[in-house]
Amino acid sequence: MSYEITPFQKRFLEAALPDVPFDGWTPELLNRTADRLKVSATELEIAFPRGARDLVRCLFIWVTGETLEKLKPKDMAALRVRERIALGVRTRLEVLAPHKEAMRSALAFMARPPHSFSMPRLVWHTADKLWWAAGDTATDYNHYTKRLLLSGVISATTLYWLNDSSPHHAQTWEFLDRRIDNVLKIGMKLGKLKQKKTA
């Protein structure tokens, strides 16, 4: 599975996003956007051979890319690991903030078979990129454990955020901090169990 999108796919997605709350992730959305951008049916088929499913996948890949770009200027080395991870997850949601309803619709779309099989891998991809951005270089079992746990944080926090109406999503950031605290505790316990088994 490719986790890159072309400049054309990026431009098309960004043009389509404002209409998702009205059209949903549907063939109509693709066709309306194609008409507006003067994209031919052939170009549309090449870029999104599976239609709306490919466009939704582009959303997840796009937001990860945009998040990484916003993290580049940050002085990650000056932050603790938990702060780096929290910043990554928060930045991702801030990128999505103008498209909250589009993301809500995308999650509903991806929850339905056969699309649901792609969802865990897309979230894992995001977790992997955020850990690399945080400076993680683990290649042992920790590599997979960290990404699995962060995938859970991303999923839970996104769902909380979608239903958060507090000013500036303050309750979401508190929820995120609690989730990361829990994950770090679990990670420490798993590390100690691993050490005991290898001792």
Q: Are 153 and 181 in contact (CB under 8 A)?
A: no
> What are the boundaries of each domain within the chain?
7-140
Q: What is the pLDDT along the chain (199 residues), one digit of tens a residue?
A: 679 999 999 999 999 999 999 999 999 999 999 999 999 999 999 999 999 999 999 999 999 999 999 999 999 999 999 999 999 999 999 999 999 999 999 999 999 988 888 999 999 999 999 999 999 988 777 888 889 999 999 999 999 999 999 999 999 999 999 999 888 777 666 655 555 555 5
pTM: 0.91
- C-alpha to C-alpha distance for 77 and 5, rounded to whole angstroms: 29
